[in-house]
């Protein structure tokens, strides 16, 4: 059923807010303000002239809250990404430290350092993929719950979610490089002597 919308028609002369004058200018537009004010005063002495601004200034003022939100959320995203990278790197470093003997035995049996490197990188990628999957499902469920309470919650598109997942996966593999390189440089004799 269509909603009825109340409409009020008001003559232009009776508008309390007054009108707006747009001027296309070349050069400094603020240099024209005194001359335009004089012309308006000649036409209507009681007409107030105030809030002279360029469209660029108005656009910047209107978009300022969105830009601030974008900057703050971007910084939070970078901090979260750094925490994720440190977390994955720490877990893998702990895992590599505990598997030193295993890596030594594998290398003694003929595994190449590249095989060890690939195994640790794969382990980091699997940890990241699991986290991304759980996060995507959790985010989807949370957005469905939120839309039942807040009308304007929008789901991000598939491209955004896929891009975020790819960034996280690349960051996790990058965080895995240092522990993987350390595992690939395992000294076989020292690893076999260690208990």
pLDDT digits (tens, 9 = 90+) for 60-116: 888 888 888 889 999 998 998 898 888 888 888 888 888 888 888 888 888 888 888
Tens digit of pLDDT for each residue in 11-54? 656 555 556 777 777 888 888 888 888 887 887 777 777 777 88
Tokens for 103, please give them. 């890596």
Which residues, 6 or more positions from 113, have their beta carbon under 8 angstroms from its beta carbon? 107, 184, 185
- For the four alpha carbons of 111, 112, 113 and 114, in that order, the dihedral sign comes to negative
What interhelical angle do 100-108 and 113-149 show, nearest 10?
Answer: 140
29 secondary structure, DSSP code: G
Tens digit of pLDDT for each residue in 145-177? 888 888 777 777 889 888 988 998 898 888 888
What is this structure's pTM? 0.61
Place of tokens 């789901």: 155
Report which of residues 180 and 21 the model is more confident about: 180
Residue 180, pLDDT > 60, answer yes
CA 71 – CA 58 distance, rounded (Å): 20
Secondary structure of residue 32 in the 3-state scheme:
helix
């Amino acid at each position: 059923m269509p909603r009825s919308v109340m409409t009020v028609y008001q003559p232009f002369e009776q508008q309390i807010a007054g009108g707006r004058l747009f001027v296309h200018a070349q050069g400094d537009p603020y240099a024209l303000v005194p001359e335009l004010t004089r012309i308006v005063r000649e036409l209507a002495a009681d007409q107030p002239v105030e809030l002279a601004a360029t469209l660029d200034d108005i656009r910047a003022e209107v978009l300022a809250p969105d830009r601030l939100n974008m900057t703050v959320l971007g910084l939070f995203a970078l901090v979260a990404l750094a925490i994720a990278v440190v977390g994955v790197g720490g877990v893998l470093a702990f895992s590599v430290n505990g598997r030193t003997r295993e890596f030594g035995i594998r290398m003694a049996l003929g595994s190449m350092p590249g095989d060890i490197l690939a195994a640790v990188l794969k382990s980091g990628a699997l940890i990241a993929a699991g986290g991304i999957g759980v996060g995507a499902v959790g985010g989807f469920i949370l957005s469905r719950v939120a839309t039942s309470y807040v009308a304007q919650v929008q789901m991000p598109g598939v491209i955004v979610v896929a891009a975020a997942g790819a960034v996280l996966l690349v960051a996790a593999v990058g965080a895995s490089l240092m522990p993987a390189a350390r595992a690939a440089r395992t000294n076989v004799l020292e690893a076999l002597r260690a208990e």
